[in-house]
Amino acid sequence: MRISIIGAGSFGTAVAAVAARCGNEIVLWAHDPSVAAEIGDTRHNPIYLPSIELDERVRATSSLAEAVAFSDVLFMIVPSHHYRGVLAQMRPYLRREVAIVSATKGIENDTLQRMSEVTALELGGSLRSFAVLSGPTFALEMARGDPTAAVIASLDLELAEEVQHALSSPTFRIYNSSDVTGVELAGSLKNVIAVAAGVIEGLGLGSNTTAALITRGLHEVTKLSVALGGRVETLAGLAGMGDLVLTCTGSLSRNRSVGVALGKGKPLAEILSESRTVAEGVRTSKAAKELADRHGIEMPITSEMYGVLHQGQSPRTALQRLMTRSLKAEAAP
């Protein structure tokens, strides 16, 4: 299979490594020409996953025209706040209908749209079909060949199965699904809970607190996802519980790392300025709170994290507010 990967960050680089390992031909687009040149010269991404050697089947470019012309299956792996803009830049180069596979885990703040909705609006008649790839997938572990499982969701079963077979190997196993909404929301909303999990560690709290947070976090993520059309079983699967557990407990989690620093008292602006990677949970907390308010869904953890991230609320105060909420049944009848 010929695959164009739009975005040479850590996850785009990891997908390139996995796809090439399966025998596919890859064009990897990097926004920075120097990154594309370095990959071409050394087979290593100098900024993201520098320890991973990329196969000769991966060709790097900084030309969107070249990347778009290479394949009619385009993997969009860019931060959510750049996603629409990159699609708009690609549009003039489209000469045929394309399939978009999004691995972006975020919700657009201004419009509250998921990447499937942004893609449909930006590409219109040029869009043949859409899929979303998600799950508990740290880029470094994926790229080095640690056994990993993910899910590909699309209303176009043919596309889902095409990607499933093209990328699956003895070290990377993909399941398919038709629940695009559930997979997109699960992958986005869990990042907010992961920031909260980091705060817990930063405050010096233990496993009891983390376990409670993950469990109640999954509950509120599920409520909003189902209200917006996702399926309960999706939230109990790889894109939901699996990814939530990974990002709340794994040391490679960017969102969790932001939370750890917050819990230790570091200002958010300073934390973000020191990182070249994007912690989607910071932006997503705003969109998640607005969606919850719009649909009348109670999401206390998300609401408190919004206060911490955007209103200067103390992490310890946020935790105290969560623990002193009115008592109620665990699950509503």
- Per-residue pLDDT of the chain in tens (333 residues, 90 and over written 9): 999 999 999 999 999 999 999 999 999 999 999 999 999 999 999 999 999 999 999 999 999 999 999 999 999 999 999 999 999 999 999 999 999 999 999 999 999 999 999 999 999 999 999 999 999 999 999 999 999 999 999 999 999 999 999 999 999 999 999 999 999 999 999 999 999 999 999 999 999 999 999 999 999 999 999 999 999 999 999 999 999 999 999 999 999 999 999 999 999 999 998 887 778 899 999 999 999 999 999 999 999 999 999 999 999 999 999 999 999 999 865
DSSP state of 274: T
pLDDT of 241:
98
| CA distances from residue 310 to 16, 26, 127, 254, 314 in whole angstroms, order as listed | 35, 39, 36, 18, 11
Residue-level pLDDT at 277: 76
Q: What are the structural domains, with CATH classification, of the chain? A: 2-178 (3.40.50.720), 181-323 (1.10.1040.10)
Q: Which residue is catalytic, options 105, 190, 223, 286? A: 190
Active site (annotated) includes residue 266: no
Nearest to 222 by CA among 255, 244, 196, 200: 244
Cα angle 98, 99, 104 (rounded to 5 degrees) comes to 125
Contacts of 283 (CB under 8 A, 6+ apart): 80, 81, 106, 109
d(CA 101, CA 163): 9
At 333 the pLDDT is 54
Question: Model pTM?
Answer: 0.95
pLDDT score for 22: 97
